[in-house]
């Protein structure tokens, strides 16, 4: 017997397909529909919070129970449309992973079967590929403009605003096509376990690095959702992980932020440290940060599934996906240290980097300069010692001491000093 609630079946049987086509027109390369039932991953999420892995992200605790079911967002919800928008420099392959995966034809989708005879060697290769050496000047003395790296998702406009506009347009389209239905567009800030519903909607599986991975498009995409009280035909979920025996992401993490596969300790994650953490970054984690100024992509860069990204075909982004600005992908930390509050606001107000505000980003800039080790950064760091913000001053002091220690070490190791 048909449920008496608003199902909009019959003449609207083709609506799911048209909805996904509209999503593609708006730039969402991936789309799928999941039933609006309790989140499968909620018990794991609650355990993750209990283990203290959320750090200072108190809002995750505050909204914890709300993530149990999407009806906390839309009380009458029956279906969840999940969408994915690609970000990063499309058309350019990501940096190579430590080893080429060998496809196993017996596994659906050509799952990589990485049987590493020497996991330690792979880990060392990955760390050398994505963490700069501080010997002999770090990242090229004199090339400070390229020494501060920004995660790909932040190298463009504020993704919250960009995706919100398109999700709201998608929700408005659905309401126009099915008069009387109710919708709610959500992106990032709502209490929804996005990856859980994206997996159930057929967008991919959750990898060992906790990122959602699509077999053709990898993991470089944002997730968004449109909740509705329409009962729409759902897509087949991804039931299993296709990471195989690969541990490239776990081995390559500079700060060892994965205590076990599929679990991230955010308090050690470079993205958390450089974006979410408002206090001083633990000294033990500063060196492993390398030249990451805002966010981190290491565990995605080394993923074999990101090397297999193909694009095109089904699910091609209609509007080209998220705008990528290569000039924002590399920022000069010396220049950043010279920005006052007004200049900082003018430059970053409409970007994701605004989230960290001036104290956080300049703190990160000082740490990057300390890791680079170029003594020509000392004047900028010394000026930062007079900054009104204590967070910036502390990071500048640390960086100055680190650079001076390096200079002293280089001098003591030089042939002239050893011969005297």
Give the DSSP letter string of 313-345: STT--SS-SS---HHHHEE-HHHHHT--HHHHH
Give the DSSP letter string of 183-220: EEEE-SSSS--HHHHHHHTTS-EE-TTS-EEBTTTBT-
Q: How far is the first Cα of the chain from the last one, in angstroms, to the nearest whole number?
A: 95
For every one of its 420 residues, what pLDDT tens digit does the chain have, with 9 covering 90 and above?
333 334 445 556 899 999 999 999 999 999 999 999 999 999 999 999 999 999 999 889 888 899 999 999 999 999 999 999 999 975 554 444 333 333 333 223 333 333 233 433 443 444 344 444 333 333 333 344 448 999 999 999 999 899 999 999 999 999 999 999 999 999 988 999 999 999 999 999 999 999 999 999 999 999 999 999 999 999 999 998 999 999 999 999 999 999 999 999 999 999 999 999 999 999 999 999 999 999 999 999 999 999 876 554 333 333 468 999 999 999 999 999 999 999 999 999 999 999 889 999 999 999 999 999 999 999 999 999 999 999 999 999 999 999 999 988 877 766 665 554
Q: Reduced to 3 states, what is the DSSP secondary structure of residue 307? A: helix
Of 384, 8, 401, give the one whose Cα is nearest residue 183. Answer: 8
Specify whether the CB–CB gap between 348 and 335 falls below 8 A. no
Q: CB neighbours of 180 closer than 8 A, spacing ≥ 6?
A: 6
C-alpha triplet 192, 195, 311: angle, nearest 5°: 130
- 28: number of Cβ within 10 Å: 29
Element (H, E) at 35: strand 30-35
CA–CA dist 48, 356 (Å, integer): 24
Of 109, 83, 85, 84, give the one whose Cα is nearest residue 16. Answer: 83
- Catalytically active residues, by annotation: 188
CA–CA dist 103, 57 (Å, integer): 39
CA–CA dist 33, 234 (Å, integer): 5
Six token digits for residue 267: 């308090």
CA–CA dist 191, 186 (Å, integer): 9
Predicted pLDDT of residue 133: 38
Look at the pTM and tell me if it is higher than 0.85: no
Label residues 280-295 b or e (16+ Cβ within 10 Å = b): ebeeebbebbbbbbbb
CA–CA dist 317, 19 (Å, integer): 14
CA–CA dist 275, 55 (Å, integer): 12
């Amino acid at each position: 017997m048909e449920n008496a609630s608003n199902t909009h079946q019959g003449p609207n049987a083709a609506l799911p397909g048209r909805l996904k086509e509209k999503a593609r027109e708006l730039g969402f390369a991936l789309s799928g529909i999941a039933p609006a039932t309790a989140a499968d991953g909620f018990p794991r999420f609650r355990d993750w919070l209990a283990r203290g892995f959320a750090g200072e992200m108190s809002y995750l605790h505050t909204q914890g129970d709300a993530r149990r079911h999407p009806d906390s967002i839309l009380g009458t919800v029956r279906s969840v449309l999940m969408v994915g928008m690609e970000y990063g420099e499309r058309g350019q392959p990501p940096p190579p992973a430590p080893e080429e995966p060998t496809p196993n034809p017996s596994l659906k989708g050509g799952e990589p079967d990485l049987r590493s005879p020497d996991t330690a060697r792979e880990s060392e290769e990955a760390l050398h590929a994505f963490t700069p050496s501080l010997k002999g000047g770090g990242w090229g003395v004199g090339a400070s403009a390229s020494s501060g790296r920004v995660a790909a998702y932040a190298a463009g406009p504020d993704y919250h605003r960009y995706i919100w506009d398109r999700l709201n347009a998608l929700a408005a389209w659905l309401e126009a096509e099915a008069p009387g239905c109710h919708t709610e567009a959500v992106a990032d800030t709502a209490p929804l376990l996005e990856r859980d519903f994206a997996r159930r909607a057929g967008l991919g599986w959750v990898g060992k690095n906790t990122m959602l991975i699509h077999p053709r498009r990898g993991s470089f995409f944002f997730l968004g959702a449109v909740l509705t009280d329409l009962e729409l035909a759902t897509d087949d979920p991804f039931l299993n992980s296709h990471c195989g025996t690969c541990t490239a992401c776990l081995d390559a993490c500079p700060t060892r932020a994965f205590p076990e596969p599929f679990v991230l300790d955010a308090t050690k994650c470079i993205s958390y440290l450089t974006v979410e953490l408002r206090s001083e970054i633990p000294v033990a984690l500063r060196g492993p940060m390398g030249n990451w100024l805002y966010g981190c992509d290491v565990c995605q860069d080394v993923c074999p599934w990101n090397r297999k990204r193909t694009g095109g075909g089904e699910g091609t982004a209609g509007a080209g996906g998220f705008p990528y600005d290569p000039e924002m992908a590399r920022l000069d930390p010396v220049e950043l240290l010279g920005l006052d509050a007004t200049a900082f606001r003018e430059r970053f107000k409409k970007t994701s980097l605004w989230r960290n505000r001036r104290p956080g980003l300049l703190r990160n800039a000082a740490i990057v300069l300390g890791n680079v080790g170029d003594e020509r950064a000392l004047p900028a760091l010394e000026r930062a010692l007079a900054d009104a913000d204590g967070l910036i001053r502390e990071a500048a002091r640390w960086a100055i001491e680190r650079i001076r220690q390096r200079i002293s070490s280089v001098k003591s190791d030089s042939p002239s000093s050893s011969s005297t």
